Amino acid sequence: ADSFSADLTRPTLVVGSTGKVGRLVVSELVSQGRPVHALVRNATKAREDAKLPLDSELLKVFCGDLHSEAELRAACQGCGAVIAVSGTTRFSKPGDFLPWRFFGNDPMAARRATRPLEDLTHPYAVNYEGIVRLARVAEESGATKFVRLTGLSVGFPVYNPVTVLFNLLLSLTGKWHDRAEKYLRSRQHALDVTILRPGGLSDLDRGDLCKVESEDEGECLVEETVNVQLVASEDGAYKEKKQKPPPPPGRIGRRDVAALAVECALGNPKASRRTLSIRWVGSGDGIGPAPQGDASEGSPSWAMELEKLDAPPPPPSGPDVSAAVRKSRPYAAAVAAAPPLILLFAAGAAGLLKWTAAKMLG
């Protein structure tokens, strides 16, 4: 952390800066007086739609994306930290389920030589290949800190119904997030990496969860004392402590996610080399449907919550990326097993209903 503190006057690169979380990250950095490089794919969107603080002298906008090393290098120039909140949402296509694409380590390998620019929206191209490229360019450009936003479900077991559904519908998106996380946690680079896994994202702020409005006039008539706090738990903490995690959706506000990303990027030593699952705890409209743990588990600020964590782990010394790939979690197998299991369950349920009806009528 001490070596990183000297980088605080250098810009922070925000990738995905026109998204709902990204523009909040940019605004938070500018509000703290930090210089920002914002990488955008669409300059028009940056000017008109993203609500970026374009009038600030602290903000410099670069056009480019994760597929171009030259564009990434230009945006990373002089930066001390990178915050990557980019991602892709691409629904599965029939070709995704061809065995050599579905089970392979590179779903586009067979066609890469003849059509290298094909299907750049695939999670492999964005959530894995693009993030690895960004991390390498960031390190080569002199950055020392890297913050990556993925999702709470990346830490779920591969046979969890939520994991299976996401991977089935969204081109194995969880597999490629997991693969990128493995790279970022590996010893293939010298970056200080923090991975954030938020739950269901909300546009509400914590203060909004405490308000009860009149249905007739839409005015806030009552301000309830509802204590909604922040929790950042180390990946696997619930399993190690033999605690049952709170029920879905593990909701958290985008503004709180952005605030933690900035806290990590600016060198909080307790965020060093962490994979953190983050969410709200407490109860109230917008955090449910079920109470998300007890508010006493959380903290009112990220600095206070991170202070609860143990000392940061040592730098990675485990397997390299090739070994991590060989030990990749069986996402494809889980998705492939889902349809026959569903059909088997349906057939069993239909048989049971038929048998019950026969017994009742007979």
**If you write DSSP's letter for every residue of 183-248 in order, what string do you get?**
HHHSSSS--EEEEEEE-SEES--GGGGGEEE-TTT--EEEE-----EEEEEETTHHHHTT-PPPPT
Higher pLDDT, 30 or 217: 30
Report the C-alpha gap between 65 and 87 in whole angstroms: 11
Contact 123, 90 (CB under 8 A): yes
Q: What is the DSSP string of 52-68?
A: --TT-TTEEEEE--TT-
Q: Are strands 12-15 and 81-84 parallel, antiparallel or unpaired?
A: parallel
Q: How sure is the predictor about 35, in pLDDT bands with cuts at 50, 70 and 90? A: very high
Residue with tokens 């994979």: 275
- Which tokens go with 303? 């600095």
- Which tokens go with 178? 């997991």
Paired with 87 in beta bridges are none
Region 210-229: what's the mean pLDDT? 52
H or E segment to which residue 111 belongs: helix 109-112
* Helix, strand, or coil (residue 357): helix
For residue 89, what are the contacts with CB-CB under 8 A and spacing of at least 6?
170, 173
Per the rule left: phi > 0, alpha: psi between -120 and 50, beta: everything else, 142 is left
> 56-60, 175-179, 289-293: which has the minimum mean pLDDT?
289-293
How do residues 246-294 score in pLDDT, each as one tens digit? 556 678 999 999 999 999 999 999 999 999 999 898 876 667 666 677 8
**Phi and psi dihedrals of 195, rounded to 5?**
-105, 130
Task: Say whether pLDDT at 240 is over 50.
Answer: no
Contact 86, 75 (CB under 8 A): no
**Phi and psi dihedrals of 104, rounded to 5?**
-80, 170
H or E segment to which residue 4 belongs: helix 2-5
For 301, other C-beta atoms within 10 Å of its C-beta total 15
How do residues 130-145 score in pLDDT, each as one tens digit? 999 999 999 999 999 9
Region 330-345: what's the mean pLDDT? 64
Higher pLDDT, 163 or 59: 59
